[in-house]
Structure 1
Amino acid sequence: MTSFRTGLRAAAVALLPLAALVPTAAALAQQARPAQELIPRKDLFGNPSRTAATVSPDGKSIAFLAPKDGVMNVWVAPLATPDKAKPLTQETLRPIRSYFWAPDSSQILYIQDKGGDENFLLYGVDLAKGETRTLTPFEKTRVQVIAISETIKDAILVGVNNRDPRWHDVHRLNLKTGELTLVRQNDGYAGFAADDTLTLRLATKATADGGYAVETIGPDGTTAPFLTIPHEDGLTSGALGFTTDGKTLYLRDSRGRDTSALFAMDMASGRTTLVAENAKADIGGLMANPRTGVVEAYSAYYETNEWFPVGDALKADIAFLNEKAGGEWSVTSRDDADRIWTVAVDRVTEAPAFYLYDRKKKALTRLFTTRPELEGRTLATMHPVQIPSRDGLTLVSYLTLPPGSDKDGDGKPETPVPLVLSVHGGPWARDGYGYNGTHQWLANRGYAVLSVNFRGSTGFGKGFVNAGNLEWGRKMHDDLIDGVDWAVKQGVTTADKVAIMGGSYGGYATLWGMTATPDRFACGVSIVGPSNLITLLGSIPPYWASVRENFARRMGDDRTEEGRALLTERSPLSHVQNIRKPLLIGQGANDPRVIQRESDQIVAAMKEKGIPVTYVLYPDEGHGFARPQNRISFNAVTEAFLSRCLGGAHEPVGTDFDGASLTVPEGAQGVPGVAEALAAKK
């Protein structure tokens, strides 16, 4: 739990011989091919030209991420002349993916790890001097930003786990001198919330039943019980943070209801007031006044994301943006005067674009599109669909079809096409509506793409989340199969032309699909996917100690005989002998969440049983592939792999391995062009 306002500001910028198994050449020739020119992988998965625009708190400058010598860095310009931006940060290897402004607008702060190990340190760069300082200069340490104040401009609160890797001690960081002062030693709390004076007010601790206890912190540092959040509400409830005066606490709460609602609590009386609710979706994003911290708008995300005003403060602005943006929009920053906003606009069939919004003038001015290379290209429409599960749940899902395959625009192709079932990670996350690079890439190659929000996905109420408890490899997977069956029944695809692909939990779902339901999928692509749930739980990072009980109750308890039996039975590694179709596995060697062993052990088991597999390993990546050269190279392998399996078009590997760190410990000959590209790799 970070502070309410920290979350708002930071979030704005900011477990994955083949010839006998594939169709004949004659069969491939009859399958769907995209009608339009192939979009190069580098245009879809290379660095965006610019992204993540934010305005400084003083309203004088604008920052964004853009490549410098091929690596994403932070650029800064005067607000009046954004075209005169200059690079401020100097990263030369790993891209910066998240940054934020210091409260006094004098610095850009960002976090960075090494090779994907997720030991994020905090760095600060002075705008005037251009000097970069490591503000948390520790080894094997992960920093958390806990609180940023609107009135205290020279300090923030950070959590650092260099004393005990399980817990983040709270420090006050002087942004001018870099001095760290211990505020509170943490001996078992999952998180803290502070008010605008950077005074700790709340602490959250995991309870034995898998829920959470929220405690107040008094002036002398002692704690007292405040709120109890049962396990069933653990993913849908919690304290968010305070208004600037510290008198009101905002809560997201699903206790006594299904979808989580937004409440405001008066800290003096303890009285709560309902601020916002939605019958279908949990309350999602919030917009709070930069000066007062009062919530002025909220979003609810069912099929699409919608913003609603709280009171009249932003009513006209929301109406204006709804009319003028031409797509879904989100505010990525607001200056302290609350006159200038940066706004991201997503029109699905265009790459997202960023705009400046002047509230006083009611003027929306385009800054840039994130991928100008895609302008003029034919991109695919995404269709929100509601798929019924076999036991009566509604699965909000998203279908993208190859351009030209659906001439009447009804969301069904004229003739069935091969389909890729793309499974999200988490699993306590969700798929959403909007521009999606993976959907666009696969649709351009001639595939339909289906993303199913299976039970356990978040945003649809606690009943839907909790329906996934202990259902890894069971009802969660049934939902995915129900999605495939729906697509076949609708004429989107045929039962023999479906691939499954995903990362993290999506990688697990792929491995499970290939082992437990091997006749349902023609092939699978698993990215950083766990193969053994017992070894997965035994290797989670120490700083996840506070959520350990949640894993036990939602996945299975590896501390009990019964739990270990369940986890063993639900592990793909236990059923590896069932694999009969082509499988591609991608892994980052430094992944702290799904460690390399998870991929190594299933590859070794397949080799022992004489089952072909292609294994791509990146020595400088973690839980996913951050470097664009690595992303492009893996997608080049994936594209050739899918083409051989399903018959879609593919761009030759060519030189897409150049600059990438990939190694192929197993199965390079199993994917067309891979061995040759490896031999020619620079």
Structure 2
Amino acid sequence: MRLLRIIGLILIVVAIAALGVAYYFEQETAPIHPSLARATMAPLIPVRDFYANTGAEWGYQPSHNGSMIAWYGVEWTKTVLRVKRTEQAGPFLTLSDAQVDDFRWHSYKNELVVLSEGRLWQIDPLKPKRDNWADVTPRGFVNWRIVSSPSGPDDRLVVASNDRNPAFLDLYSVRQDGGGKQLLEKNEGETIDWWLDRHNVPLIRADRLGDEGTRFLIRDSATEPWRMLTEISARDDFTILYHPEGGKPIYALSDRGRDRIALVTVAPLTGEETIVAEHPKVDAKKAFALAENAAGPDFLTFEDGYPQYRTFSKLGEAFTKLLLDGENPVDFDILGTSPDGRFATVARSWREQSFEYFLYDLENGKATKIAEYDLRKHKDALVETKPVSFKARDGLDIPAFLILPRGVEPKNLPAVVVIHGGPAQQEIWAYNNDYQFLANRGYAVLSVNFRGSTGYGKAFRAAGYGEIGMAMQNDIVDAANWLVRQGIADKSNMAVMGGSYGGYSAALAMTRDPGLFKAAIVDYGVMNIAYQMQNNPFSWGLHLDEMKRYFGDPGNEAGLAEMRERSPSTHAANVQGAILITAGKQDRIVGFEQSEEFEEALKATGKDVTAVYFDKEGHGYDRWQTKLRRARLIEDFLAKHLGGRSGGFDYTEIAAEYLN
């Protein structure tokens, strides 16, 4: 005990000393750009509040009957799991002795199912001692994933596992205590997904057809033979939703035979589609079903600038009535629902004032506020994102989102053009922590859905095929020039940034169009297209045929030569301005060696480059330590080159280093 007290005293002394050092060094750097220096800017939000907020609480989920809520919180720098009774203000339980990697409520008991230390545990919050935890990990597996939930004490669970062959998944059933492993469906090597009915019987399966597409098979029961439902070309999007019910139409999101994705039903005997809901300009984005075993949607969203909604049930109507507030745009996330869909926990941000957490009782139409995300204390310093669009040089309409700093006249500002990854992805209107951080430092931010992005139909996406480094890149140049023409951006103080494909495009902006941007932030980017295409991992996320449509065919030398010509690493000598490079050393999608070689090429030609590689990160950054360090690098880098402000040294940098 004496030794523990001594250690405790040492830690207190170290903490006090660290705070003293922080007080001495933590000084805000005022903006030097003229448009910011003469403005009365919003209060500076500390970088720690964005990326290392020890007051943060999140992930609220209701128990099966809505009587309890569990969520994540922080004690010092450790993530913990908390539980409270719905009608009470604070938690009656905090699980802090073990790292909780994931959790959910049991489907018909007020008990938690927690993933910790590689095992699955069932925990009664009223008897939380470790000796009372029940190990319900599926037995007899090396790799496993539970794909169903029980609705009664005798229901078995379905587990997907690739133990037999790492290339594909088989289905098994187990008891709720994890034992009694039984083979449910053996994969013959072609099946890539299964859909189960509410009794956990696989009734639909999807088989891969090489590069040609996907074949969907259906059956009426476990004893019936599989028969053809439909075949989907690799050029079409088709996603089956919810649990199939024997003989009833199947809901799906599909663009088969159309330019844009619509909500459809599929006839189980003929495969014929009937449109339920579509939009004249954009794809159907996401269909929501609130009940665990739902066979159809409650509501649907479209992302045409601000989100739009269509409802299909009483639950959907009750949910959107509680969610929406007149014309106020709302970003939301459903954190959890009860099995019957009556209760839902929701994170909601009106006009991007950070998140509030609510428990919705959809039967009674009641919203109970649970808490606020800690960053919401700065809501008056946060800003709104506005949907905009501009004409590309060939006349194509390019959607984008504009974020402007608060308290500053939107004229002649330092600006950052942001490029999303993929490239087959889409920026949507939503609260974005990174953009709020940049705006708070004084920058106008324009996030661009360049041609080739998803969400706007097949034609818009196909306009990017073969246009890597050409028309797709022209859209980024045109975005920057639009900001200047609008009078928003200072032409001599613009930066460009992005990750993955966005990192490629940001780097290419510096090599293909030198002088347009004064600085670039390049996160885990593709620097050599030929190298990437010759070493593509399966986990890249795009079908190989789709990769070729965007980037070209690595199977012939002419294609490889074109890829090298469109690669930033080939033209490092062209760079004018400064580049900040970051990458994760565990990246299995775009190896950090590409960033290293680009860094070396820049240094060999005397360019201004800073590169930082994170040991414990992969493709994208998950750790708060990394996010904090990256943010500090960015704010100092942009302050130096574009003239915005910086919060300077933050005492949480000490914790990030110490707890790395």
2:310 maps to 308
Residues 251, 489 of structure 1: CA spacing in aligned structure 2 closer, same or farther, 3 A cutoff?
A: same
Cα distance, 1:416 vs structure 2: 0.9
Contact residue 337 and residue 343 of structure 2 kept, 8 A: yes
Distance in 2 (CA, whole Å) between partners of 1:527 and 1:110 is: 33
Distance in 1 (CA, whole Å) between partners of 2:451 and 2:153 is: 43
Contact residue 319 and residue 360 of structure 2 kept, 8 A: no
Distance in 1 (CA, whole Å) between partners of 2:275 and 2:86 is: 38
Report SS of the residue matched to 2:655.
Answer: coil
Match of 1:417 among 413, 419, 422: 413
Contact residue 170 and residue 186 of structure 1 kept, 8 A: no
Amino acid at match of 2:78: V
Cα distance, 1:516 vs structure 2: 1.7
Matched, 1:81 2:81: no
Distance in 2 (CA, whole Å) between partners of 1:105 and 1:212 is: 39
TM-score of the pair, normalised by structure 1: 0.82
Matched, 1:567 2:563: yes
Residues 658, 165 of structure 1: CA spacing in aligned structure 2 closer, same or farther, 3 A cutoff?
A: farther
Distance in 2 (CA, whole Å) between partners of 1:112 and 1:532 is: 39
Report SS of the residue matched to 1:659.
Answer: helix
Question: What pairs with 1:604-643 in structure 2 (closer than 5 Å)?
Answer: 604-643=600-639
Residues 310, 421 of structure 1: CA spacing in aligned structure 2 closer, same or farther, 3 A cutoff?
A: same
Distance in 1 (CA, whole Å) between partners of 2:555 and 2:139 is: 36
Distance in 2 (CA, whole Å) between partners of 1:385 and 1:152 is: 53
Residues 85, 70 of structure 1: CA spacing in aligned structure 2 closer, same or farther, 3 A cutoff?
A: farther
Distance in 2 (CA, whole Å) between partners of 1:572 and 1:422 is: 17
Cα distance, 1:517 vs structure 2: 1.8
Residues 395, 86 of structure 1: CA spacing in aligned structure 2 closer, same or farther, 3 A cutoff?
A: farther
Contact residue 540 and residue 592 of structure 1 kept, 8 A: no
2:62 maps to 55
Report SS of the residue matched to 2:631.
Answer: helix
Distance in 2 (CA, whole Å) between partners of 1:173 and 1:601 is: 49
Contact residue 455 and residue 479 of structure 1 kept, 8 A: yes
Unaligned runs of 5+ in 1: 1-24, 114-120, 407-412, 663-680
Report SS of the residue matched to 2:608.
Answer: coil
Question: What pairs with 1:492-503 in structure 2 (closer than 5 Å)?
Answer: 492-503=488-499
Q: Which moved more, 1:213-222 or 1:79-88?
A: 213-222
Matched, 1:529 2:525: yes
2:275 maps to 274
Distance in 1 (CA, whole Å) between partners of 2:600 and 2:134 is: 44
Aligned sequence identity (%): 26
1:12 maps to none
Residues 166, 476 of structure 1: CA spacing in aligned structure 2 closer, same or farther, 3 A cutoff?
A: farther
Residues 271, 258 of structure 1: CA spacing in aligned structure 2 closer, same or farther, 3 A cutoff?
A: closer
Amino acid at match of 1:652: G
Contact residue 195 and residue 246 of structure 1 kept, 8 A: no
Question: What pairs with 1:586-601 in structure 2 (closer than 5 Å)?
Answer: 586-601=582-597
Cα distance, 1:584 vs structure 2: 0.7
Report SS of the residue matched to 2:351.
Answer: coil
Cα distance, 1:151 vs structure 2: 6.5
Please list the CA deviations of residues 193-231 of structure 1 after superposition, one character each: whole Å capped at 9, or x if unmatched.
Answer: 222222223333443445333233674696543322223
Contact residue 167 and residue 543 of structure 1 kept, 8 A: no
2:387 maps to 384
Match of 1:367 among 362, 370, 374: 370
Distance in 2 (CA, whole Å) between partners of 1:207 and 1:271 is: 20
Cα distance, 1:70 vs structure 2: 1.7
Q: CA RMSD in A?
A: 3.4
Question: What pairs with 1:662-673 in structure 2 (closer than 5 Å)?
Answer: none
Residues 480, 134 of structure 1: CA spacing in aligned structure 2 closer, same or farther, 3 A cutoff?
A: farther
Distance in 2 (CA, whole Å) between partners of 1:549 and 1:142 is: 29
Distance in 1 (CA, whole Å) between partners of 2:138 and 2:592 is: 28
Question: What pairs with 1:225-240 in structure 2 (closer than 5 Å)?
Answer: 225-233=228-236, 236-240=237-241
1:482 maps to 478
Contact residue 66 and residue 73 of structure 1 kept, 8 A: yes
Report SS of the residue matched to 1:425.
Answer: coil
Distance in 1 (CA, whole Å) between partners of 2:145 and 2:393 is: 42
Cα distance, 1:301 vs structure 2: 1.3
Cα distance, 1:525 vs structure 2: 0.7
Match of 2:187 among 185, 188, 205: 185
State how many pairs are aligned.
620
Question: Based on CA coordinates, which of the two structures has the bigger radius of gyration?
Answer: 2
Contact residue 252 and residue 263 of structure 1 kept, 8 A: yes
Cα distance, 1:132 vs structure 2: 8.0
2:351 maps to 348
Residues 175, 348 of structure 1: CA spacing in aligned structure 2 closer, same or farther, 3 A cutoff?
A: farther
2:640 maps to 644
Cα distance, 1:60 vs structure 2: 3.0
Report SS of the residue matched to 1:65.
Answer: strand
Residues 266, 26 of structure 1: CA spacing in aligned structure 2 closer, same or farther, 3 A cutoff?
A: closer
Cα distance, 1:136 vs structure 2: 6.9
Distance in 2 (CA, whole Å) between partners of 1:160 and 1:465 is: 34
Distance in 2 (CA, whole Å) between partners of 1:324 and 1:176 is: 48
2:13 maps to none
Distance in 1 (CA, whole Å) between partners of 2:208 and 2:144 is: 20
Distance in 1 (CA, whole Å) between partners of 2:58 and 2:472 is: 34
Distance in 2 (CA, whole Å) between partners of 1:185 and 1:655 is: 53
Report SS of the residue matched to 2:275.
Answer: strand
1:467 maps to 463
Please list the CA deviations of residues 226-284 of structure 1 after superposition, one character each: whole Å capped at 9, or x if unmatched.
Answer: 32222322xx3232233456733211111221111111224256554322111122112
Report SS of the residue matched to 1:228.
Answer: strand
Contact residue 496 and residue 522 of structure 1 kept, 8 A: yes
Report SS of the residue matched to 2:619.
Answer: coil
Distance in 2 (CA, whole Å) between partners of 1:156 and 1:532 is: 45
Distance in 2 (CA, whole Å) between partners of 1:51 and 1:45 is: 14
Contact residue 507 and residue 522 of structure 2 kept, 8 A: yes
Report SS of the residue matched to 2:42.
Answer: coil
Contact residue 166 and residue 542 of structure 1 kept, 8 A: no
1:405 maps to 408
Report SS of the residue matched to 2:229.
Answer: strand
Distance in 1 (CA, whole Å) between partners of 2:598 and 2:470 is: 20
Q: Which moved more, 1:546-555 or 1:488-497?
A: 546-555
Distance in 2 (CA, whole Å) between partners of 1:110 and 1:506 is: 36
2:217 maps to 215
Contact residue 500 and residue 590 of structure 2 kept, 8 A: yes
Report SS of the residue matched to 1:643.
Answer: helix
2:123 maps to 126
Report SS of the residue matched to 1:638.
Answer: helix
Residues 380, 132 of structure 1: CA spacing in aligned structure 2 closer, same or farther, 3 A cutoff?
A: farther
1:335 maps to 338
Report SS of the residue matched to 1:76.
Answer: strand
Contact residue 67 and residue 85 of structure 2 kept, 8 A: yes
Cα distance, 1:189 vs structure 2: 3.2
Distance in 1 (CA, whole Å) between partners of 2:304 and 2:47 is: 31
Cα distance, 1:643 vs structure 2: 0.7
TM-score of the pair, normalised by structure 2: 0.84
Match of 1:322 among 308, 321, 324: 324
Residues 320, 630 of structure 1: CA spacing in aligned structure 2 closer, same or farther, 3 A cutoff?
A: closer
Contact residue 229 and residue 238 of structure 1 kept, 8 A: no
2:201 maps to 199
Please list the CA deviations of residues 394-433 of structure 1 after superposition, one character each: whole Å capped at 9, or x if unmatched.
Answer: 2221111111124xxxxxx1x3100011222222222122
Cα distance, 1:649 vs structure 2: 0.7
Match of 2:51 among 16, 29, 45: 45
Please list the CA deviations of residues 447-479 of structure 1 after superposition, one character each: whole Å capped at 9, or x if unmatched.
Answer: 101101112222222222222222222222221
Q: Which moved more, 1:241-250 or 1:607-616?
A: 241-250
Distance in 2 (CA, whole Å) between partners of 1:538 and 1:112 is: 38
2:72 maps to 65
Distance in 2 (CA, whole Å) between partners of 1:383 and 1:278 is: 21
Distance in 2 (CA, whole Å) between partners of 1:448 and 1:625 is: 24
Distance in 1 (CA, whole Å) between partners of 2:152 and 2:540 is: 32
The answer to which structure, 1 or 2, has the higher relative contact order (CA under 8 A, 6+ apart) is 1
Please list the CA deviations of residues 124-155 of structure 1 after superposition, one character each: whole Å capped at 9, or x if unmatched.
Answer: 4534555485947999x876554446568854
1:14 maps to none
